[in-house]
């Protein structure tokens, strides 16, 4: 009893005593309050106040623990930097709080690795140390309210609550009508992250200049050798996408100053509209000559000021009836009707990944194949479920079935086709030839392969272009939007939906609203070892860290 009371007191105070005694609701509320003030000061262009509030935020205990929580719960939490350190225990996370200090801070070089690109080339990735990642996450908490307030309206990449589906929907708005622009400039920036000018970043990014300069000049280790960085911001750093976004923000305003704002008399003459996702963008126009001789030179000058240039081979001007690929989808008008479908290149790349997996795993059990392929199919279908993808989904099902049939025939080359069919392919309702495997550990039933054609095509609700998640007037709008998107992501799991709805769509420990992209755990209120059931009334949904915190308190109280 004494221990639990002590924990509650320490958790509600400014300083907790250990990682699992932190009052996360209080921490998020304090950081949120400062971020709102930063956004309001940015709206007024009161840069002195912005700087003062940013300094206050980056020195706060609340911001430091939230930054550490972020870098120790994301996908790269187990990937070390050059120092080979990871913060994988509550004690290490608690010790890390005192390491997040500006005084004497010197970032270590990045660990350089390469990941393959679709065109056969390799993309360089820089992996910072855990301390540097946490420092970047800390300063990002102070920078993101500024970047969201000053961002281009139709920029959708690497921004909270915005996605590829929003960018595609905006393209549909700009191109679908009979009177819409007919020509499209497809822009691609050559090595965007690698060539952004350091001088421009230091002069124009509203954050601590000394810390920013240290990150930009940290260098990277490759084959045991230290290499300096003279330009660019490293792909792999938490703050890098926001720095890249802020570098490219402003082009929409430049275009509007030349060709008029949307829905004005000047814009009706040129129909110049702009949509960007990260470093890929499109600009619409009334004619090819307008885009080639007036718009393109303006874009080139804008990029040159930031040390960037467009890729000559990927920057194209296309008529809408010929169609173009953007973010893995093909946008094209057929006899005047706009249709958006998964691009052929994207479909082929997805099927190639499945074929490569099956070719490399010729002897694994069928249950392992299903466990691997189901998330791949679900993820790919969820990305394309907002567009005209039903035909593509049927085609993908057919191709996957052919690959699985060949995989089975190769394993059982001495068996008859009927035997193979009976062993691996079952009838489920009206579906025939469903790839299946018996459940393990003596459980009844079968694991079944997900059918792409069964994924429901839905209408995506595009985010309001001017909405800012850091301004109080938009808070209710974002709560409704998150709830709608969460509902769609949980549509196939009514049990989980009922639990989340009962919790008012919030984690009961940190009181943060769930996002459709969040990772969460299901917690038993009465433990199963104590006789608790799996009924929804005995379950709650928690963030992973919050789930650990609950179990830590239960252990200490026992």
Q: What confidence tens digit (pLDDT) does each residue in 327-361 have?
A: 999 999 999 999 999 999 999 999 999 999 999 99
CA–CA separation, 292 vs 314, rounded Å? Answer: 14
**351 and 425 share one domain:** yes
**443 and 476 share one domain:** no
**450 and 348 share one domain:** yes
- Does 507 fall in a domain? yes
* Predicted confidence (pLDDT) per residue in 308-329, tens digit: 999 888 899 999 999 999 999 9
* Predicted confidence (pLDDT) per residue in 41-94, tens digit: 999 999 999 999 999 999 999 999 999 999 998 888 888 999 999 998 999 999
Domain with 432, as residue range(s), is 344-454
- Does 56 fall in a domain? no
**406 and 351 share one domain:** yes
- Does 499 fall in a domain? yes
This prediction has a pTM of: 0.87
* Predicted confidence (pLDDT) per residue in 421-454, tens digit: 999 999 888 888 999 998 876 556 788 999 999 9
**450 and 350 share one domain:** yes
Number of H helices, E strands in the chain: 22, 16
What per-residue confidence (pLDDT) applies to 5? 31
Contact by Cβ (8 Å): 331, 324: yes
* Predicted confidence (pLDDT) per residue in 128-138, tens digit: 999 999 999 99
- Does 33 fall in a domain? no
- Does 529 fall in a domain? yes
Q: Which tokens belong to 240? A: 């890098």
CA–CA separation, 153 vs 156, rounded Å? Answer: 8
Number of domains in the chain: 2
**361 and 444 share one domain:** yes
- Residue at a domain's end among 454, 489, 521: 454
Identify the burial level of 105 via C-beta atoms within 10 angstroms of its C-beta, where 0-12 means exposed, 13-18 middle and 19 or more buried: middle
- Does 403 fall in a domain? yes
- Residue at a domain's end among 454, 480, 510: 454
- Does 254 fall in a domain? no
**513 and 442 share one domain:** no
DSSP, residue by residue, 43-78? HTT-HHHHHHHHHHHHT-HHHHHHHHHHHTTSTTTT
CA–CA separation, 206 vs 146, rounded Å? Answer: 8
**526 and 484 share one domain:** yes
- Residue at a domain's end among 454, 487, 518: 454
**349 and 423 share one domain:** yes
**3 state DSSP class of 11:** helix
CA–CA separation, 31 vs 64, rounded Å? Answer: 10
- Does 356 fall in a domain? yes
**348 and 413 share one domain:** yes
**448 and 526 share one domain:** no
**516 and 547 share one domain:** yes
């Amino acid at each position: 009893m004494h221990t639990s009371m002590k924990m509650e007191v320490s958790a509600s105070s400014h300083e907790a005593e250990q990682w699992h005694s932190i009052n996360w609701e209080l921490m998020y509320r304090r950081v949120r309050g400062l971020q709102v003030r930063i956004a309001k000061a940015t709206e007024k262009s009161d840069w002195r106040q912005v700087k003062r509030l940013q300094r206050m935020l980056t020195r706060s205990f609340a911001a430091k623990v939230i930054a550490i929580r972020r870098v120790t719960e994301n996908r790269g939490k187990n990937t070390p930097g050059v120092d080979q350190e990871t913060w994988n225990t509550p004690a290490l996370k608690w010790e890390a709080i005192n390491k997040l200090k500006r005084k004497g801070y010197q970032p270590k070089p990045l660990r350089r690795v390469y990941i393959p690109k679709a065109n056969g080339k390799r993309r360089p990735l820089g992996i910072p140390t855990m301390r540097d990642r946490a420092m970047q996450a800390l300063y990002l908490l102070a920078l993101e309210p500024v970047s969201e307030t000053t961002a281009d309206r139709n920029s959708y990449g690497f921004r909270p609550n915005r996605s590829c589906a929003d960018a595609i929907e905006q393209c549909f708005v700009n191109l679908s009508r009979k009177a819409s622009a007919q020509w499209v400039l497809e822009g691609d920036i050559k090595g965007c992250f690698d060539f952004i000018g350091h001088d421009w970043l230091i002069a124009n990014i509203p954050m601590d200049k000394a810390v920013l300069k240290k990150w930009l000049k940290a260098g990277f280790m490759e084959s045991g050798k230290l290499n300096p960085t003279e330009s660019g911001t490293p792909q792999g750093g938490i703050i890098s996408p926001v720095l890249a976004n802020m570098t490219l923000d402003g082009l929409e305003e430049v275009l509007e100053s030349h060709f008029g704002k949307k829905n004005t008399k000047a814009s009706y003459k040129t129909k110049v509209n702009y949509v960007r996702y990260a470093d890929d963008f499109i600009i619409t126009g009334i004619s090819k000559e307008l885009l080639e001789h007036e718009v393109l030179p303006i874009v080139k000058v804008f990029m040159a000021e930031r040390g960037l240039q467009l890729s000559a081979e990927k920057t194209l001007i296309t008529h809408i009836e010929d169609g173009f690929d953007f973010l893995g989808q093909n946008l094209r008008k057929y006899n005047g009707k706009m249709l958006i479908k998964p691009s052929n290149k994207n479909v082929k790349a997805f099927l190639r990944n499945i074929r490569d997996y099956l070719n490399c795993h010729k002897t694994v059990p069928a249950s392992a194949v299903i466990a691997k392929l189901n998330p791949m199919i679900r993820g790919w279908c969820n990305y394309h479920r907002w567009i005209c993808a039903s035909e593509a989904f049927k085609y993908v099902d057919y191709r996957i079935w052919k690959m699985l049939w060949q995989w089975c025939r190769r394993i059982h080359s001495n068996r008859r086709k009927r035997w193979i069919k009976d062993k691996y392919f079952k009838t489920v309702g009206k579906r025939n030839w469903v790839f299946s495997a018996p459940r393990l550990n003596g459980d009844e039933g079968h694991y079944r392969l997900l059918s792409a054609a069964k994924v429901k095509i839905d209408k995506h609700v595009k985010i309001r272009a001017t909405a800012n998640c850091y301004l109080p007037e938009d808070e209710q709008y974002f709560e409704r939007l998150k709830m709608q998107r969460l509902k769609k992501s949980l549509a196939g799991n009514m049990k989980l939906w009922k639990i989340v709805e009962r919790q008012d769509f919030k984690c009961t420990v940190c009181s943060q609203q769930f996002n459709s992209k969040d990772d969460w755990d299901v917690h038993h209120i009465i433990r199963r070892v104590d006789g608790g059931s799996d009924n929804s009334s005995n379950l709650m949904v928690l963030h992973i860290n919050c789930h650990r915190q609950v179990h830590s308190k239960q252990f200490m109280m026992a």
